[in-house]
Structure 1
């Protein structure tokens, strides 16, 4: 399955999200870290949701996570995803604490288990590196 050939909308990159997408393009997962309360933060935002500090810096995450939930998509919300249905998306809890929605890579017949360890696999989707995950 060549995900790079998909014709799907690209994410909107803003000044706030640019560090995340730059890291993704380099094959890294970078998330915000609060220098006041020591919490990790994802999705990108201007202030910490835990202590309201604006002292957020970007740090590379370990890339290790736990699969919290997943769904196999048979009818995508955008026609660009039709060539690869069914595909899987899931909520992963990063080792650092935040959760994120991500594409879940798996081979036909692979069983997914909620609570399983997953790891990041930078994946080209529609011409852009995206942080996808695969069960470890």
Structure 2
């Protein structure tokens, strides 16, 4: 009998399909894409093939500015799923993108005590595996000075 090597599942990697490929390709180039409705003009994120506001299928990709504000967060001190366990503690967050949509993400380069609702953030990217990057956010102060105020 042969043995089969089982790999540890990665819970931080996307399942890229034909529809989401533009999003992930842009992220690998450190660009954040959102979807915008041609019928009502609203932007949305996570990517969908229809507008969640008016249900129009007239939606297209648009590069986001990368600017956001912190809406809410939680500091995760324990997570047994790989590879998150090696990253604890980390800041799981929801941010308001400048274009309007809210996005679930992670805030990096900032001490927990310095986080504030409404704090200006800027997108950055972490390579999760070869060719796959995920959008994270850091305080604008950390982008400009290398430290969180």
Q: Same fold by TM-score, threshold 0.5 exceeded?
A: yes
Using the alignment, how far apart are the partners of 2:18 and 2:119 within structure 1? 34
* Residue 107 of structure 1, CA deviation: 4.3
* Residue 79 of structure 1, CA deviation: 3.4
Q: Does 1:102 align with 2:105?
A: yes
Structure 1 runs of 4+ with >4 Å offset: 107-110
Count of residues paired in the alignment: 130
* Residue 109 of structure 1, CA deviation: 6.4
Q: Who is 1:113 aligned against?
A: 116
Using structure 1 for the length normalisation, give the TM-score.
0.87
Extract unaligned runs of 5+ from structure 1: 1-6
Extract unaligned runs of 5+ from structure 2: 1-8, 141-149
Using the alignment, how far apart are the partners of 2:41 and 2:47 within structure 1? 15
Using the alignment, how far apart are the partners of 2:46 and 2:110 within structure 1? 28
What RMSD in Å do the two structures reach over aligned CA positions? 1.7
CA separation of 1:92 and 1:77: change in aligned 2, threshold 3 A: farther
Using structure 2 for the length normalisation, give the TM-score.
0.80
Larger Rg: 2
